[in-house]
Amino acid sequence: MKQGIHPVYQEVIYKDVSSGYAFLTRSTAQPKERETWEDGNEYPVVKLEISSASHPFFTGKHRLIDAAGRVEKFNQKYAKKSAPKGDDNS
């Protein structure tokens, strides 16, 4: 294996800043901040804006989109207007 070409693979804390949820995993990320984990050891911390703890899909707070209703609305809005009566050229 060549020396000096591989990134450092270490344990890192990923922390969701909106919910406070955190998990420890291995990563090649090299953050500058460090925090003490539950086991008493200090690890680098990567701050996340969103995770499964705060994402609407995983928390059950998402809206289901009614695709059929959207198609009907589109057809009503952009349907071709019928020709006015009396404009028959036949």
* Residues 20-24, mean pLDDT to the nearest whole number: 92
- pLDDT score for 76: 83
d(CA 3, CA 22) in angstroms, rounded, equals 33
Question: How confident is the model over 29-54, as a mean pLDDT?
Answer: 91
**Residue 18: what pLDDT?**
84
For tokens 């294996």, name the residue. 1
Residue range 19-32: mean pLDDT, rounded: 93
Tracing tokens 């989109």 back to the chain, one arrives at 65
Please tell me whether the overall predicted TM-score, pTM, comes out greater than 0.85 for this model: no
Higher pLDDT, 48 or 85: 48
